[in-house]
Chain A
Amino acid sequence: MTAGVVTAGDVTVRADVAGLMARMAAGDQAAVFCLVERHGTRLAGAVRAMARRRGVEWLHREDLDDLVVDAAMALLDVAEAWDPAGGALPWVWARHRLEAVVDRFVGQHHDSLDAARAATLERLLPEAPPPGPGCEPDVLDLLAHLGSGSELATVVRDALAQVGSHRDQRLLLEVRLQESLGDRSPAATVAPRYGMQPAAVRQQVRRMKHRLRRLAASEARFAPLADLPLVA
Protein backbone atom coordinates (compact mmCIF):
# COMPACT_ATOMS: atom_id res chain seq x y z
CA MET A 1 0.00 0.00 0.00
CA THR A 2 1.25 3.48 -0.84
CA ALA A 3 1.33 5.94 2.04
CA GLY A 4 -1.50 8.42 1.85
CA VAL A 5 -3.51 6.48 -0.74
CA VAL A 6 -6.72 4.86 0.46
CA THR A 7 -7.44 1.67 -1.45
CA ALA A 8 -10.74 -0.12 -2.00
CA GLY A 9 -9.45 -2.82 0.38
CA ASP A 10 -8.91 -0.22 3.10
CA VAL A 11 -12.44 1.05 2.66
CA THR A 12 -13.85 -2.48 2.94
CA VAL A 13 -11.80 -3.20 6.06
CA ARG A 14 -12.81 0.07 7.67
CA ALA A 15 -16.48 -0.51 6.89
CA ASP A 16 -16.35 -4.03 8.31
CA VAL A 17 -14.46 -2.93 11.42
CA ALA A 18 -16.88 -0.03 11.92
CA GLY A 19 -19.83 -2.42 11.76
CA LEU A 20 -18.29 -4.80 14.26
CA MET A 21 -17.29 -2.01 16.65
CA ALA A 22 -20.83 -0.63 16.44
CA ARG A 23 -22.21 -4.04 17.39
CA MET A 24 -19.73 -4.28 20.26
CA ALA A 25 -20.67 -0.77 21.41
CA ALA A 26 -24.32 -1.81 21.37
CA GLY A 27 -23.51 -4.69 23.70
CA ASP A 28 -23.34 -7.54 21.18
CA GLN A 29 -20.32 -9.40 22.50
CA ALA A 30 -20.52 -11.97 19.71
CA ALA A 31 -19.04 -9.31 17.45
CA VAL A 32 -15.69 -9.57 19.23
CA PHE A 33 -15.40 -13.14 17.89
CA CYS A 34 -15.96 -11.84 14.36
CA LEU A 35 -13.40 -9.08 14.95
CA VAL A 36 -10.72 -11.62 15.84
CA GLU A 37 -11.70 -14.01 13.07
CA ARG A 38 -11.66 -11.36 10.34
CA HIS A 39 -9.09 -8.89 11.64
CA GLY A 40 -7.01 -10.98 14.03
CA THR A 41 -4.02 -10.79 11.70
CA ARG A 42 -4.10 -6.99 11.82
CA LEU A 43 -4.46 -7.05 15.61
CA ALA A 44 -1.57 -9.50 15.80
CA GLY A 45 0.55 -7.16 13.69
CA ALA A 46 -0.23 -4.28 16.02
CA VAL A 47 0.61 -6.14 19.24
CA ARG A 48 3.70 -7.74 17.67
CA ALA A 49 5.01 -4.27 16.75
CA MET A 50 4.33 -3.04 20.29
CA ALA A 51 6.13 -6.03 21.77
CA ARG A 52 9.07 -5.43 19.42
CA ARG A 53 9.32 -1.84 20.59
CA ARG A 54 9.60 -3.22 24.12
CA GLY A 55 12.53 -5.43 23.17
CA VAL A 56 10.54 -8.63 22.59
CA GLU A 57 11.67 -9.61 19.11
CA TRP A 58 9.98 -12.98 18.94
CA LEU A 59 6.65 -14.06 20.39
CA HIS A 60 5.64 -17.64 20.89
CA ARG A 61 2.57 -18.46 18.78
CA GLU A 62 0.48 -19.20 21.87
CA ASP A 63 1.53 -15.92 23.49
CA LEU A 64 0.66 -14.01 20.36
CA ASP A 65 -2.78 -15.64 20.24
CA ASP A 66 -3.36 -14.73 23.90
CA LEU A 67 -2.27 -11.16 23.25
CA VAL A 68 -4.67 -10.88 20.32
CA VAL A 69 -7.53 -12.07 22.53
CA ASP A 70 -6.57 -9.63 25.31
CA ALA A 71 -6.31 -6.83 22.76
CA ALA A 72 -9.75 -7.69 21.36
CA MET A 73 -11.18 -7.64 24.88
CA ALA A 74 -9.57 -4.25 25.43
CA LEU A 75 -11.28 -3.00 22.25
CA LEU A 76 -14.59 -4.36 23.55
CA ASP A 77 -14.13 -2.13 26.59
CA VAL A 78 -13.69 1.02 24.51
CA ALA A 79 -15.95 0.23 21.55
CA GLU A 80 -18.51 2.78 22.64
CA ALA A 81 -15.98 5.61 22.59
CA TRP A 82 -14.47 4.83 19.19
CA ASP A 83 -15.65 7.02 16.35
CA PRO A 84 -15.09 5.72 12.81
CA ALA A 85 -15.17 9.30 11.55
CA GLY A 86 -11.92 9.89 13.44
CA GLY A 87 -10.10 8.00 10.72
CA ALA A 88 -7.92 5.72 12.85
CA LEU A 89 -8.63 2.02 13.05
CA PRO A 90 -9.57 0.94 16.60
CA TRP A 91 -6.25 -0.76 17.36
CA VAL A 92 -4.42 2.43 16.36
CA TRP A 93 -6.85 4.74 18.16
CA ALA A 94 -6.75 2.57 21.33
CA ARG A 95 -3.00 2.02 21.18
CA HIS A 96 -2.54 3.00 24.83
CA ARG A 97 -4.99 0.30 25.87
CA LEU A 98 -3.23 -2.23 23.68
CA GLU A 99 0.17 -1.11 24.92
CA ALA A 100 -1.05 -1.74 28.47
CA VAL A 101 -1.98 -5.28 27.38
CA VAL A 102 1.48 -5.78 25.89
CA ASP A 103 3.13 -4.22 28.94
CA ARG A 104 1.33 -6.69 31.19
CA PHE A 105 2.70 -9.48 29.04
CA VAL A 106 6.22 -8.12 28.84
CA GLY A 107 5.95 -7.50 32.55
CA GLN A 108 7.94 -4.34 32.71
CA HIS A 109 7.78 -0.78 31.60
CA HIS A 110 11.02 0.24 30.00
CA ASP A 111 12.53 1.77 26.93
CA SER A 112 13.79 -0.88 24.58
CA LEU A 113 17.48 -0.96 23.83
CA ASP A 114 18.48 -0.39 20.27
CA ALA A 115 21.03 -2.82 18.87
CA ALA A 116 23.99 -0.45 19.24
CA ARG A 117 23.22 0.34 22.90
CA ALA A 118 22.67 -3.33 23.64
CA ALA A 119 26.03 -4.26 22.04
CA THR A 120 27.81 -1.53 24.03
CA LEU A 121 26.24 -2.74 27.26
CA GLU A 122 27.23 -6.30 26.48
CA ARG A 123 30.87 -5.22 26.02
CA LEU A 124 30.88 -3.22 29.24
CA LEU A 125 29.19 -5.75 31.48
CA PRO A 126 31.42 -8.41 33.00
CA GLU A 127 30.69 -11.99 32.10
CA ALA A 128 28.42 -13.76 34.53
CA PRO A 129 30.39 -15.78 37.05
CA PRO A 130 30.12 -19.55 36.80
CA PRO A 131 27.50 -20.96 39.14
CA GLY A 132 29.00 -21.72 42.51
CA PRO A 133 27.75 -24.02 45.22
CA GLY A 134 25.41 -21.32 46.54
CA CYS A 135 23.80 -20.60 43.16
CA GLU A 136 20.41 -22.05 42.33
CA PRO A 137 20.46 -24.09 39.12
CA ASP A 138 18.32 -22.88 36.25
CA VAL A 139 15.06 -24.84 36.33
CA LEU A 140 15.15 -25.55 32.59
CA ASP A 141 18.75 -26.80 32.77
CA LEU A 142 17.69 -28.99 35.66
CA LEU A 143 14.76 -30.35 33.68
CA ALA A 144 17.01 -31.02 30.68
CA HIS A 145 19.39 -32.88 32.97
CA LEU A 146 16.55 -34.94 34.46
CA GLY A 147 15.31 -35.63 30.94
CA SER A 148 18.39 -37.69 30.17
CA GLY A 149 17.31 -40.28 32.73
CA SER A 150 13.53 -39.99 32.91
CA GLU A 151 10.97 -40.46 30.19
CA LEU A 152 8.42 -38.34 32.05
CA ALA A 153 10.90 -35.48 32.45
CA THR A 154 11.50 -35.61 28.71
CA VAL A 155 7.75 -35.45 28.08
CA VAL A 156 7.43 -32.47 30.44
CA ARG A 157 10.38 -30.70 28.82
CA ASP A 158 9.03 -31.25 25.30
CA ALA A 159 5.52 -30.21 26.30
CA LEU A 160 6.75 -27.00 27.92
CA ALA A 161 8.75 -26.18 24.80
CA GLN A 162 5.60 -26.57 22.71
CA VAL A 163 3.42 -24.27 24.74
CA GLY A 164 5.55 -21.36 25.89
CA SER A 165 8.65 -19.23 25.64
CA HIS A 166 11.69 -20.02 27.79
CA ARG A 167 10.60 -17.26 30.16
CA ASP A 168 7.12 -18.68 30.59
CA GLN A 169 8.46 -22.21 31.04
CA ARG A 170 10.66 -20.91 33.85
CA LEU A 171 7.78 -18.96 35.37
CA LEU A 172 5.59 -22.05 35.60
CA LEU A 173 8.33 -24.27 36.99
CA GLU A 174 9.53 -21.71 39.52
CA VAL A 175 6.04 -20.86 40.73
CA ARG A 176 5.16 -24.53 41.16
CA LEU A 177 8.49 -25.10 42.92
CA GLN A 178 7.78 -22.24 45.33
CA GLU A 179 4.31 -23.66 45.96
CA SER A 180 5.75 -27.06 46.74
CA LEU A 181 8.07 -25.38 49.26
CA GLY A 182 5.06 -23.94 51.06
CA ASP A 183 5.29 -20.41 49.66
CA ARG A 184 1.82 -18.87 50.01
CA SER A 185 2.54 -16.13 47.46
CA PRO A 186 4.73 -17.84 44.87
CA ALA A 187 3.94 -15.32 42.15
CA ALA A 188 5.06 -12.48 44.40
CA THR A 189 8.30 -14.35 45.10
CA VAL A 190 9.04 -15.12 41.46
CA ALA A 191 7.85 -11.85 39.88
CA PRO A 192 10.83 -9.63 40.85
CA ARG A 193 13.28 -12.08 39.23
CA TYR A 194 11.63 -11.35 35.91
CA GLY A 195 10.81 -7.68 36.47
CA MET A 196 7.12 -8.57 36.39
CA GLN A 197 4.07 -7.80 38.47
CA PRO A 198 2.73 -10.79 40.48
CA ALA A 199 -0.61 -10.53 38.65
CA ALA A 200 1.16 -10.90 35.30
CA VAL A 201 3.02 -13.94 36.61
CA ARG A 202 -0.21 -15.52 37.83
CA GLN A 203 -1.85 -14.90 34.46
CA GLN A 204 1.02 -16.45 32.49
CA VAL A 205 1.19 -19.45 34.81
CA ARG A 206 -2.57 -19.97 34.46
CA ARG A 207 -2.23 -19.84 30.68
CA MET A 208 0.71 -22.22 30.61
CA LYS A 209 -1.21 -24.74 32.73
CA HIS A 210 -4.22 -24.45 30.47
CA ARG A 211 -2.08 -25.00 27.37
CA LEU A 212 -0.45 -28.04 28.96
CA ARG A 213 -3.84 -29.51 29.87
CA ARG A 214 -5.01 -28.96 26.31
CA LEU A 215 -1.88 -30.59 24.95
CA ALA A 216 -2.35 -33.54 27.32
CA ALA A 217 -5.90 -33.96 26.07
CA SER A 218 -5.00 -33.71 22.40
CA GLU A 219 -1.82 -35.78 22.01
CA ALA A 220 -1.38 -39.28 23.42
CA ARG A 221 2.34 -38.77 24.05
CA PHE A 222 1.54 -35.92 26.43
CA ALA A 223 -1.42 -37.63 28.17
CA PRO A 224 0.63 -38.38 31.34
CA LEU A 225 0.86 -34.64 31.94
CA ALA A 226 -2.79 -34.57 32.97
CA ASP A 227 -1.98 -36.41 36.20
CA LEU A 228 0.92 -34.18 37.22
CA PRO A 229 0.58 -31.56 39.97
CA LEU A 230 2.41 -29.24 37.55
CA VAL A 231 -0.79 -28.69 35.57
CA ALA A 232 -3.28 -28.92 38.45
Chain B
Amino acid sequence: MTGAADLQGARARHPAASARVGDRARLERALADRLAAAGLAHPQVAAAAIAARASAGLSVEGWARRLEVPVPAVLAVEGGEVGASELPAPLRSLLGPAQG
Protein backbone atom coordinates (compact mmCIF):
# COMPACT_ATOMS: atom_id res chain seq x y z
CA MET B 1 0.00 0.00 0.00
CA THR B 2 1.33 3.46 -0.87
CA GLY B 3 1.71 6.37 1.54
CA ALA B 4 -1.15 8.17 -0.20
CA ALA B 5 -3.37 5.10 0.13
CA ASP B 6 -2.43 4.83 3.82
CA LEU B 7 -3.42 8.45 4.31
CA GLN B 8 -6.67 8.00 2.43
CA GLY B 9 -7.53 4.95 4.53
CA ALA B 10 -6.76 6.77 7.75
CA ARG B 11 -8.93 9.68 6.68
CA ALA B 12 -11.82 7.36 5.85
CA ARG B 13 -11.58 5.74 9.31
CA HIS B 14 -11.41 9.05 11.15
CA PRO B 15 -14.58 9.85 13.17
CA ALA B 16 -14.94 13.14 11.33
CA ALA B 17 -14.85 11.43 7.92
CA SER B 18 -18.62 11.24 7.60
CA ALA B 19 -18.90 14.99 8.10
CA ARG B 20 -16.42 15.54 5.27
CA VAL B 21 -18.43 13.25 3.01
CA GLY B 22 -21.53 15.28 3.92
CA ASP B 23 -19.72 18.51 3.15
CA ARG B 24 -18.62 17.17 -0.21
CA ALA B 25 -22.18 16.21 -1.13
CA ARG B 26 -23.38 19.67 -0.09
CA LEU B 27 -20.63 21.34 -2.06
CA GLU B 28 -21.34 19.21 -5.10
CA ARG B 29 -25.01 20.20 -4.93
CA ALA B 30 -24.16 23.88 -4.48
CA LEU B 31 -21.71 23.73 -7.36
CA ALA B 32 -24.28 22.02 -9.58
CA ASP B 33 -26.76 24.80 -8.76
CA ARG B 34 -24.14 27.39 -9.59
CA LEU B 35 -23.23 25.72 -12.88
CA ALA B 36 -26.90 25.35 -13.78
CA ALA B 37 -27.40 29.06 -13.12
CA ALA B 38 -24.45 29.73 -15.43
CA GLY B 39 -26.33 27.89 -18.16
CA LEU B 40 -24.22 24.73 -18.48
CA ALA B 41 -25.97 21.94 -20.33
CA HIS B 42 -25.02 19.21 -17.84
CA PRO B 43 -24.35 20.89 -14.49
CA GLN B 44 -24.79 17.79 -12.32
CA VAL B 45 -22.38 15.73 -14.38
CA ALA B 46 -19.89 18.58 -14.33
CA ALA B 47 -20.18 19.08 -10.57
CA ALA B 48 -19.82 15.35 -9.92
CA ALA B 49 -16.74 15.21 -12.13
CA ILE B 50 -15.16 18.20 -10.41
CA ALA B 51 -15.94 16.71 -7.00
CA ALA B 52 -14.37 13.40 -8.03
CA ARG B 53 -11.19 15.15 -9.15
CA ALA B 54 -11.13 17.17 -5.92
CA SER B 55 -11.35 13.93 -3.92
CA ALA B 56 -8.36 12.62 -5.84
CA GLY B 57 -6.50 15.87 -5.17
CA LEU B 58 -5.31 16.14 -8.76
CA SER B 59 -4.99 18.86 -11.35
CA VAL B 60 -6.90 18.49 -14.61
CA GLU B 61 -3.74 17.21 -16.28
CA GLY B 62 -2.98 14.73 -13.49
CA TRP B 63 -6.57 13.55 -13.46
CA ALA B 64 -6.56 13.06 -17.22
CA ARG B 65 -3.37 10.99 -16.92
CA ARG B 66 -4.86 8.92 -14.10
CA LEU B 67 -8.01 8.24 -16.10
CA GLU B 68 -6.10 7.79 -19.34
CA VAL B 69 -8.34 10.22 -21.19
CA PRO B 70 -7.29 13.36 -23.08
CA VAL B 71 -7.20 16.63 -21.14
CA PRO B 72 -9.79 18.25 -23.45
CA ALA B 73 -12.19 15.41 -22.62
CA VAL B 74 -11.87 16.14 -18.89
CA LEU B 75 -12.31 19.85 -19.55
CA ALA B 76 -15.42 19.20 -21.65
CA VAL B 77 -16.98 17.11 -18.87
CA GLU B 78 -16.15 19.67 -16.19
CA GLY B 79 -17.37 22.39 -18.52
CA GLY B 80 -20.80 20.79 -18.56
CA GLU B 81 -20.68 19.92 -22.24
CA VAL B 82 -21.02 16.17 -21.79
CA GLY B 83 -24.09 14.26 -20.69
CA ALA B 84 -23.97 11.17 -18.49
CA SER B 85 -24.49 8.82 -21.42
CA GLU B 86 -21.56 10.33 -23.34
CA LEU B 87 -19.01 10.26 -20.53
CA PRO B 88 -15.63 8.66 -21.25
CA ALA B 89 -15.74 5.11 -19.86
CA PRO B 90 -13.35 5.67 -16.92
CA LEU B 91 -15.39 8.65 -15.71
CA ARG B 92 -18.68 6.87 -16.30
CA SER B 93 -17.64 3.98 -14.08
CA LEU B 94 -16.41 6.44 -11.46
CA LEU B 95 -19.47 8.69 -11.38
CA GLY B 96 -22.07 5.98 -11.78
CA PRO B 97 -25.21 5.96 -13.88
CA ALA B 98 -27.20 8.30 -11.59
CA GLN B 99 -25.68 11.50 -12.92
CA GLY B 100 -28.04 13.19 -15.31
Contacts and interface: CB of A to CB of B under 8 A. Distances in A.
A65 B53 contact: no
Interface size class of A (residues with CB under 8 A): 10 to 19
A33 B34 contact: no
Nearest to A72: B27
A37 B60 contact: no
Contact of A36 (B27, B34, B55): B27
Given A70-B30, A72-B27, A73-B30, A65 B57 contact: no
A85 interface: no
Given A69-B30, A70-B30, A73-B34, A33 B60 contact: no
B53 to A, nearest CB: 5
B54 A34 contact: yes
Contact of A69 (B23, B51, B60): B23
Interface residues of B, number: 20
Contacts of A65: 19, 22-23, 26
Contacts of A66: 26
A83 B6 CA distance: 35
Interface in B37-53: 50-51, 53
B69 interface: no
Nearest to A62: B22
Nearest to A61: B19
A28 B27 contact: no
Contact of B51 (A33, A68, A72, A73): A33
B27 A69 contact: yes
Interface string B1-44: 00000000000000000011011101101110010000000000
A185 interface: no
A165 B34 CA distance: 26
B23 A36 contact: yes
Contacts of B60: 28
A33 B78 CA distance: 14
Closest 9 CB pairs of A and B: A33-B54, A30-B54, A69-B26, A30-B53, A69-B30, A30-B50, A29-B50, A69-B27, A73-B30
Interface of B: 19-20, 22-24, 26-27, 29-31, 34, 50-51, 53-55, 57, 59-60, 78
Given A65-B19, A65-B22, 5 more contacts: A28-B60, A33-B24, A34-B54, A66-B26, A69-B30
